[in-house]
């Protein structure tokens, strides 16, 4: 594998090669119970289902409850616990703070995500990733503006699609920015197209998600 170039001032690594190491089959079985992997998700994988089913591997964990003593409004973004797992990919969002995202439910609970891509996948299938909840139960959703650590409302942020920036999975993702101008400046240096949240079409999301699925399949 080729080594990644260091991040630039925006905090996003450069894309040098698609690469991402996924859990091996043995690790998936051994860690399924401890990680809370749903039997309905991992059993088809072991049975040799089509690679598209890899997209449905998720960690089933309840949302973190709201702590009224924090003094934060219920809808406000929160610090990411070290042990929080992304319900879409199973990774630890706290380890990649420049890409993290979160959703806050109307009951105060919160789920954390590894990147904007995972958040958008989640929003398209909330009951599938968080049983008992629907999209209507979401009070607010947030993405991170690179190294600044600034939380941005997901539907007000601007995204860059097709840049050379590496997401947490060492693949292309959708880095988020607070203004169109900031996103355009980044795209001018790193490539890609500036999109609003509404501009992230189902075909774009499917393409990025499929790339991840193929990468997982190659490394299984």
**Secondary structure of residue 207 in the 3-state scheme:** helix
Per-domain residue ranges for the chain? 21-65+81-219
Local confidence band at 209 (pLDDT 50, 70, 90 cut-offs): confident
DSSP 154-205: TTT-EEEES-SEE-TTSSB---EESSHHHHHHHHHHH--EEEETTTS-HHHH
- Summarised one tens digit per residue, pLDDT across range 30-52 is 444 444 444 444 344 434 444 44
- Summarised one tens digit per residue, pLDDT across range 121-156 is 999 999 999 999 999 999 999 999 999 999 999 999
């Amino acid at each position: 594998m080729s080594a990644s170039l260091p991040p630039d001032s925006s905090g996003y690594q450069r894309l040098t090669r698609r690469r991402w190491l996924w859990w091996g089959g043995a690790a998936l079985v051994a860690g399924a119970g401890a990680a809370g992997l749903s039997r309905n998700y991992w059993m088809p994988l072991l049975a040799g289902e089509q690679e598209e089913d890899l997209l449905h591997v998720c960690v089933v964990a309840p949302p973190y409850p709201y702590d009224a003593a924090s003094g934060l409004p219920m809808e406000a973004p929160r610090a990411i616990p070290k042990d929080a797992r992304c319900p879409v990919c199973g990774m630890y969002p706290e380890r990649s703070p420049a890409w993290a995202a979160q959703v806050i439910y109307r009951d105060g609970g919160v789920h954390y995500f590894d990147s904007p891509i995972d958040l958008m996948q989640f929003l398209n299938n909330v009951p599938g990733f968080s049983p008992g909840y629907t999209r209507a139960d979401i009070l607010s959703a947030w993405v991170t503006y690179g190294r600044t650590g600034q939380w941005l409302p997901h539907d007000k942020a601007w995204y860059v699609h097709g840049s050379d920036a590496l997401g947490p999975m060492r693949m292309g993702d959708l880095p988020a920015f607070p203004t169109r101008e900031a996103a355009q400046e980044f795209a001018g240096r790193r490539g890609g197209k500036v999109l609003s949240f509404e501009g992230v079409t189902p075909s774009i999301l499917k393409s990025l998600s499929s790339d991840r699925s193929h990468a997982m399949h190659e490394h299984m």
